[in-house]
Structure 1
Amino acid sequence: MTLPRRTGQGMLACLGAAVLVLALNASSPAFGAEYYVDPATGSADGDGSAESPWESLEQVVQDGHFGAVIQAGDTVWLRTGFHGELVISGGSFATPITIAAAPGETPRLRRVELTDTQGWVLSGLSISPSHSPEFESVTIARISGSSSNVTIEKSLLFTVEDASGWSADDWDQLAANGITADGTNITLRENVVQNVDFAISVNASDSLVEGNVVDSYSGDGLRGLGDDITFQYNLVKNSYNVNDNHDDGFQSWSVGPGGVGTGEVRGIILRGNVFISSDDDPSRPLLRRALQGIGCFDGMFVDWIVENNVIFTDHWHGITFLGATNVRVINNTVIDIDRENSSTGPPWIQIGDHKDGTPSTGNIVRNNLTSDLNLTSSGVTEDHNLIVGVSDKDALFVDPTPPAFDVHLVPGAPAIDAGSSDLAAATDIEGNPRPQGEGVDIGAFEWPSDPLKDLIALNDALPADVSAYKSRGHMSATLARLEVVRRLVEAGQFDIAIRQLESLQRRMDGCGDGPPADGDDWIVDCTVQNSVRKLVERRLIPSLIASQ
């Protein structure tokens, strides 16, 4: 699965093979002074300069440098090594202090805890209790109390780097929580959160959770419990079935004077997120196959927007709201992964009344591609939705099965131009403007897609493992062919680009019902062949033809 990201107007097009590598480099520093911390060469007696750095971030906090030496708008560059833990209570900085990985460096921290403090940016860090000489499962990053104006970005957070050997009991006892955030105006952006229990939980109001990857968790992927939070363009996948918790890709509930289900959660936006129960990796038998996608069971949920999300699961609860007022569920794609002998599902979109009988009112379910609808409340306007049965998928999607999870529409799909423009999102999940044709398409993706984005998807489908090819030279030839196609597309020479792709198709034989293997084959792995063929035939060539 490729990391979801926004590039200009587009999210990375492919939902293909797993990529869990994060460049732990921070962006350019803010205006202000710059200080350096280096566990290898630094000293508590240093002055924090590049030539005489301090020893560790934990020591910098203990020595009281923040707010004394280090002021609002300053940047603290961390070099490679173990920096202990970052625990800060109090302090307010109108222009945030930035704590970031120095270019090319990988600073390691045991945990982060920020309490009743304002004005911080943490960027490019590796944070894990396993970095400490003595392991103890703790919340990896906690923002609490009245904290505000805090950003954690481009960081890697995990309990342990490799949990492949963990048993169910190990997961249940050892997995740490990833990020928890209280307060207001918290931003969590472009982080990778791996091998955790509850991954990202936000009680803070007026906050943003954007472009994060959650991979391998045993609780919930995302939680939104505060008002006016935007969760957008996050990828959440691989839920582990290790206890009785009913895991959700995203979960919310209200809390009021009478406890759970007696209050309101207001103004949350769920936009462009991808939830995958599991990627069907046979080496991980503990993966949960029936994940609840977006589960909001104890309202009331007021003034929510749920748009352009993609959900793959076997559970009934694809998107569920029990107790909803003015909730819009528009242009989502909710798909049954289709595994054999599934005892749950197919996943539905449901809006029902509150568990206490309070009616849901003023809700809209529109332009969704879904395996089922279960609208049990009378307070729902439902129109322009399309039910996707098992036999319908080939007529709709490029390749919805694992590991591709590609639900771009194919030419002639009945979802094309069949939606309503009323309240539809202005763009699709990749940032393509709606509509592209005579009308808005149903589901999260608008057709046609961008040929250059489709080329990115095709590149991502090609493994770096030379064993998929006849030889290393054939691997290089395949990648070179795609580079030629890219240049042709950029030059607007679509006919020649199509012929180059058709020539590449002839370099893949010996699998399935196709021609027998011959001396001209470049790609010999049948799984890779199948994925590449579908991308070329059902996605890239049609988008090139549409661009002519």
Structure 2
Amino acid sequence: MNPRPVRTRTSAGAVVRGNSVDHFWEDAHRCKVSGCLLEYNSAVNSYAVVPAGTENDPPHRDMFQSFRGDGSFTPVNDVVLRGNVFTSRKGTRYGKIPFQYNGKYTIQGIGAFDGPYRNWTIENNVVQVEVGLAMGLYGMNDSRIVNNTVVPRDPATASEIRLTNQKDGTPSSGDIIRNNLARTFNTGAAVNTQHSNNITVGTDYARYFADHPGGDLHLKPGSPAINGGTDRNAPTVDADRKQRSAPFDVGAYEF
């Protein structure tokens, strides 16, 4: 059986909760309107199905994507992304369909590309993909990006949380970036933004995680992320819906 595109497209006020998208080749989830909630979903095993004629520049796919596509830059507000676990691949199932295409194709993580966006909550998400753009937020304003874990899927080495300008050059503004555990941060383009208690992991995964090569990003005993967070603007439960205790840990999982 060949994997088919599996998409969750939300409408205003929609709730998408507890779904598993497994073995797919398009975006796993999309939200292009205001007021949608996506929480405690998972997506894993994205395949490189490249349409004819796009071999030199294959279209990118995303675990979650918000975009306009019509050049209108209509605001998308009041979106919640909470407790989702996005992993580019775990094992193999369809031997003739690759996860990558000539090294040019591999799925991206959480992408919001056509702001302005306002009043988003992005918390307790786990993102493991194999490209640098693991979380890309373009024109994100007055939003909370808190307690996410964003590191590359082994054996990849690049992964970042990017908060940058809207496509017309308007800077992202007024955001809160706290308690995130990431390979690296690229958030310098944002203005009037609060940063605190974030940890740059670099490539020292064995120091932080229970089993990074195996895809287990729960914190290990002695992890520097334990007790390294703040409860300010932070969720009181983690990605497993387990109660956090002060001082909060950094990342999606409480030890």
TM-score (norm 1): 0.43
> Superposition RMSD on alpha carbons, in Å?
1.7
Larger Rg computed on CA atoms: 1
| Residue aligning to 1:201 | 9
The answer to whether residue 118 in structure 2 is matched with residue 302 in structure 1 is yes
Task: Label 1:302 to 1:254 Cα distance change in 2 as closer, same or farther (>3 A).
Answer: farther
Distance 1:269 1:237 in 2: 20
2:61 corresponds in structure 1 to: 247
**Alignment-mate amino acid for residue 139 of structure 2:** G
Higher relative contact order (CA 8 A, sep 6+): 2
Corresponding position of 1:363: 175
**What's the counterpart of residue 186 of structure 2?**
374
Query: Are residues 1:419 and 2:229 paired?
Result: yes
What secondary structure is seen at the aligned counterpart in 1 of 2:12?
coil
Aligned residue among 329, 350, 375 for 2:162? 350
- Please report how far the alpha carbon of residue 272 of structure 1 lies from its aligned counterpart in structure 2 after TM superposition: 0.5
What is the CA–CA distance in structure 2 between the aligned matches of 1:279 and 1:369, rounded to whole Å?
21
Correspondence 1:393 to 2:205 = yes
1:496-535 mapped onto 2 (5 Å cutoff): none
Aligned mates of 2:176, 2:131 — CA distance in 1: 22
CA contact 2:113–2:138 (8 Å) conserved in 1: yes
Q: Aligned AA for 1:266?
A: N
Structure 2 residue aligned with 1:278: 89
Q: Is the 8 A contact 1:322 1:351 kept in 2?
A: yes
**Cα offset, 1:361, TM superposition:** 1.1
Which of 194, 197, 203 lines up with 1:384 in the alignment? 197
* Maintained 8 Å contact 2:124/2:147: yes
Residue type matched to 2:200 in 1? I
- One-letter amino acid of the structure 2 residue matched with residue 267 of structure 1: D
Question: What do the CA deviations read for 1:363-403 (whole angstroms, capped 9, x no partner)?
Answer: 1111011011001222422211111122x21221111223x
Question: For residues 298 and 261 of structure 1, do their structure 2 counterparts lie closer, same or farther at Cα, with a shift above 3 Å needed?
Answer: farther
1:483-528 CA distance string (max 9 Å, x none): xxxxxxxxxxxxxxxxxxxxxxxxxxxxxxxxxxxxxxxxxxxxxx
Match of 1:444 in 2: 252
SS of aligned partner of 1:196: coil
2:46–2:88 Cα contact (<8 Å) kept:
yes
SS in 2 for 1:408: strand
SS in structure 2 of the partner of residue 314 of structure 1: coil
Structure 2, unmatched stretches of 5+, are 51-57
Deviation at 1:254, TM superposition (A): 3.7
**8 Å contact 1:315–1:346 — kept in the other structure?**
yes
From 26, 29, 40, the equivalent of 1:219 is 26
Task: Give distance in 2, aligned partners of 1:250 and 1:350.
Answer: 15
Aligned to 1:262: 73
Q: Say if 2:154 is the partner of 1:338.
A: yes
The structure with more helix, counted as a fraction of residues = 1
Deviation at 1:282, TM superposition (A): 7.1
Number of equivalent positions: 242
* TM superposition shift of 1:273: 0.4
Q: 2:216 is matched by which residue type in structure 1?
A: D
Q: CA deviation at 1:338?
A: 3.0
Query: 2:206 is paired with a residue of what secondary structure?
Result: helix
Equivalent position of 1:234 in the other structure = 41
Q: Structure 1 counterpart of 2:251, which letter?
A: G
Rounded Cα–Cα distance in structure 2 between residues aligned with 1:398 and 1:232: 24
Percent identical pairs in the alignment equals 33
Letter in 2 for 1:388: V
Summarize the Cα distance change of 1:379–1:319 in structure 2 as closer, same or farther, 3 Å threshold.
farther
Query: Matched residues in 2 for 1:260 and 1:380: separation?
Result: 27
- Hey, what's the Cα distance between the residues in 1 that align with 2:22 and 2:154? 21
CA distance in 2, matches of 1:271, 1:281: 27
What is the rounded CA distance, in whole Å, between the counterparts of 1:416 and 1:312 in structure 2?
A: 20
